[in-house]
């Protein structure tokens, strides 16, 4: 049982951009702007030109319902949009269309790997809203002489997922974010690699005190760092006899600190009221049909992998924590020994990819199949297999070529037997030690044989052969 010594309570607000939709949430503009010039994917509606009106994108609503269902939320029968009124140059209408009362879904949860095993994090609500434009500064925010605005992002569909304050450490916050991203990728509604795809605001308090809201967090690692800093800061305030005040703080990613945003803008009264240009949306009846099309989610796939392929739960978890890896594994496991595939993908390939900062796409599944085939048929050693994987990642080629070039084909039978006899002849002292009961002497003999076969023999087999000859 995790004691949570500092009484840490963390809740996260995650903004997910539905960047796999073809069009924006209230207009027909394309969402495919990432490689295009600024302000090239805009129209009267997402520029908020006078007289333009929003029209809801039905696909965005479907995605929102999908997310709600995947997060075990209750999906409402009616949903409504509201205006959140505030002035900011990235907000072309002077208000953001969002949800307030009647959010599309609420009251769910997800399970994460907590400080003390499986841990449940409540989902307060997941609601729809529109993305503002993007401010572009020359250099840093405080030194820039001007601000440019790119409205390509304006009107992109966002889902804001608000968690309950159920996380007890920065590590749990990071795991929550990992899990959330994983679920969203399984739903195929979101490409997490695109700029601005997932943005996080974190609320944190300690010892039952007031909470600080930290904005401008752009990565999972950033969230963990910001929260770690914030715990230290709040503890220091308490240690000095002070009181933590409720405020909004800005995460400075470069310095890994949070800074107070003491400004007039903070005291907001958003004057929410129902958006008169969008009629309340009746969505009763949508959820069951969408539920039927919901893909298998990470937890379900993990359980299925354990059952179907008889692999260890740890391996199943590692394989399903990234959709692309899970798909890779499953394709390999259909044609090769599933357990061997799980071991080699989880314990070797993932580590080698991680070391090189590569994704699973850098490795062909045919190559994985050949490596496993070579291993299972005992044509190469485990060390040889690792060598092949590394060479494929660093230089390319094919496993067979690499085996030939590097001479990794396992040496067997007569050659090993001859080498063993030579080793026994040449090392009488070691033989004598072994016969006198010194087990360790056998290891030095194995070493000699391995040297003679240039490492291409299987060490376990060599041992067996030596034992036979000395027996």
Among 278, 294, 297, 369, binds other proteins (CB under 8 A): 278
Residue nearer to other proteins on the CB measure, 85 or 398 = 85
Stretch that binds other proteins, among 86-94, 185-193, 247-255, 361-369 (CB under 8 A): 86-94
Q: At what angle do helices 298-309 and 170-187 cross, to 10 degrees?
A: 80
Stretch that binds other proteins, among 54-62, 175-183, 350-358, 443-451 (CB under 8 A): 54-62
Among 141, 245, 259, 279, binds other proteins (CB under 8 A): 279
Kindly list the strands in the beta sheet with 95-98, ordered across the sheet, starting from the edge strand earlier in the chain.
95-98, 82-85, 273-274
Binding of residue 350 to other proteins (CB under 8 A): no
Which helix (H) or strand (E) segment holds residue 463: the answer is helix 459-470
Taking CB under 8 A as the criterion, which residues in 3-22 touch other proteins?
none
Binding of residue 85 to other proteins (CB under 8 A): yes
Dmax (CA) of the chain = 98
In three-state secondary structure terms, 63 is helix
State the minimum distance, in angstroms, from the CB of residue 149 to other proteins: 7
Residue nearer to other proteins on the CB measure, 62 or 172 = 62
Torsion angle in degrees (nearest 10) through CA of 335, 340, 346, 351:
-100
Binding of residue 54 to other proteins (CB under 8 A): yes
Binding of residue 93 to other proteins (CB under 8 A): yes
Stretch that binds other proteins, among 64-72, 98-106, 218-226, 275-283 (CB under 8 A): 275-283
Could you tell me whether strands 212-217 and 247-252 are parallel, antiparallel, or unpaired per DSSP bridges? parallel
Residues 196 and 12 sit within 8 Å (Cβ to Cβ): no
Q: At what angle do helices 298-309 and 323-335 cross, to 10 degrees?
A: 20
Tell me which DSSP letter residue 2 carries. -
Among 13, 20, 34, 47, binds other proteins (CB under 8 A): 47
Taking CB under 8 A as the criterion, which residues in 133-162 touch other proteins?
147, 149
Binding of residue 87 to other proteins (CB under 8 A): yes
State the minimum distance, in angstroms, from the CB of residue 89 to other proteins: 5
CA dist., res. 378 & res. 372, Å (int): 10
Residues 75 and 102 sit within 8 Å (Cβ to Cβ): no
State the minimum distance, in angstroms, from the CB of residue 52 to other proteins: 7
Distance of CA 246 to the CA centre of its chain: 31
CA dist., res. 151 & res. 137, Å (int): 14
State the minimum distance, in angstroms, from the CB of residue 81 to other proteins: 10
Binding of residue 243 to other proteins (CB under 8 A): no
Among 33, 95, 186, 363, binds other proteins (CB under 8 A): 95
The structure tokens listed for 433 are: 């030690």
In three-state secondary structure terms, 315 is helix
State the minimum distance, in angstroms, from the CB of residue 48 to other proteins: 5
Planar angle of CA 267, 271, 274, nearest 5 degrees: 150
Could you tell me whether strands 157-163 and 117-130 are parallel, antiparallel, or unpaired per DSSP bridges? antiparallel
The structure tokens listed for 142 are: 């405080």
Strands (E), 277-412: 281-282
Residue nearer to other proteins on the CB measure, 102 or 109 = 102
State the minimum distance, in angstroms, from the CB of residue 128 to other proteins: 15
Stretch that binds other proteins, among 89-97, 108-116, 197-205, 361-369 (CB under 8 A): 89-97
CA dist., res. 317 & res. 325, Å (int): 11
For other proteins (CB under 8 A), the number of binding residues is 29
**Cα dist from 109 to 164, 180, 311, whole Å:** 9, 11, 27
Stretch that binds other proteins, among 80-88, 228-236, 246-254, 413-421 (CB under 8 A): 80-88
Among 7, 36, 49, 236, binds other proteins (CB under 8 A): 49
Stretch that binds other proteins, among 90-98, 107-115, 412-420, 440-448 (CB under 8 A): 90-98
Among 11, 68, 92, 114, binds other proteins (CB under 8 A): 92
In three-state secondary structure terms, 132 is coil
Residue nearer to other proteins on the CB measure, 46 or 200 = 46
Binding of residue 68 to other proteins (CB under 8 A): no
Q: How many helices (H) and strands (E) does the chain have?
A: 16, 16
In three-state secondary structure terms, 19 is coil
Binding of residue 50 to other proteins (CB under 8 A): yes
The residues of the shown chain that bind other proteins, judged by CB under 8 A, are 44, 47-56, 83, 85, 87-89, 92-95, 147, 149, 269, 271, 273, 276-279
């Amino acid at each position: 049982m995790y004691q949570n010594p500092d009484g840490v309570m963390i809740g996260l607000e995650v903004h997910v951009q539905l960047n796999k939709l073809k069009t924006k949430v209230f207009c027909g503009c394309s969402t495919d702007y990432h490689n295009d010039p600024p302000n090239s994917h805009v129209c009267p509606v997402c520029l908020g030109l006078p007289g333009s009106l929003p029209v809801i994108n039905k696909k965005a609503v479907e995605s929102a319902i999908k997310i709600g269902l995947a997060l075990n939320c209750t999906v409402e029968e009616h949903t409504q949009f509201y205006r959140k009124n505030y002035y900011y140059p990235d907000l072309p209408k002077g208000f953001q269309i969002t949800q307030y009362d009647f959010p599309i879904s609420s009251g769910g949860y997800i399970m994460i790997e907590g400080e003390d095993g499986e841990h449940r994090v409540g989902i307060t609500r997941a609601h729809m809203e529109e993305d503002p434009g993007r401010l572009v500064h020359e250099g840093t925010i405080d030194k820039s002489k001007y601000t440019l605005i790119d409205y390509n992002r304006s009107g992109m569909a966002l889902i804001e997922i608000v968690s309950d304050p159920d996380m007890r450490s920065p590590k749990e916050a990071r795991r929550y974010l990992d899990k959330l991203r994983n679920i969203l990728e399984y739903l195929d509604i979101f490409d997490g690699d695109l700029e601005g795809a997932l943005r996080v605001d974190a609320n944190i308090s300690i010892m039952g005190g007031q909470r600080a809201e930290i904005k401008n967090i752009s990565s999972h690692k950033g969230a963990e760092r910001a929260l770690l800093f914030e715990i230290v800061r709040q503890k220091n305030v308490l240690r000095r006899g002070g009181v933590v005040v409720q405020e909004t703080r800005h995460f400075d990613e470069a310095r890994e600190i949070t800074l107070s945003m003491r400004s007039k803008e903070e005291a907001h009264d958003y004057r929410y009221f129902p958006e008169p240009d969008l009629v309340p949306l009746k969505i009763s009846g949508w959820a069951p049909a969408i539920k039927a099309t919901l893909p298998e989610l990470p937890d379900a796939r993990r359980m299925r992998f354990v059952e179907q392929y008889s692999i260890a739960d740890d391996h199943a978890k590692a394989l399903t924590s990234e959709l692309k890896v899970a798909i890779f594994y499953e394709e390999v496991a259909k044609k090769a020994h599933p357990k061997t595939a799980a071991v080699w993908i989880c314990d070797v390939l993932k580590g080698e990819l991680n070391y090189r900062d590569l994704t699973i796409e850098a490795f062909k599944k045919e190559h994985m199949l050949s490596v496993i085939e070579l291993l299972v048929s005992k044509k190469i050693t485990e060390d040889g297999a690792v060598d092949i994987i590394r060479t494929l990642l660093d230089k390319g080629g094919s496993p067979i070529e690499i085996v030939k070039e590097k001479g990794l084909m396992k040496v067997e039978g007569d050659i090993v037997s001859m080498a063993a006899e030579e080793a026994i002849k040449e090392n009488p002292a070691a033989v004598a030690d072994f016969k006198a009961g010194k087990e360790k002497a056998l290891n030095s003999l194995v070493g000699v044989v391995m040297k003679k076969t240039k490492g291409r023999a299987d060490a376990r087999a060599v041992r067996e052969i030596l034992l036979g000859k000395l027996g």
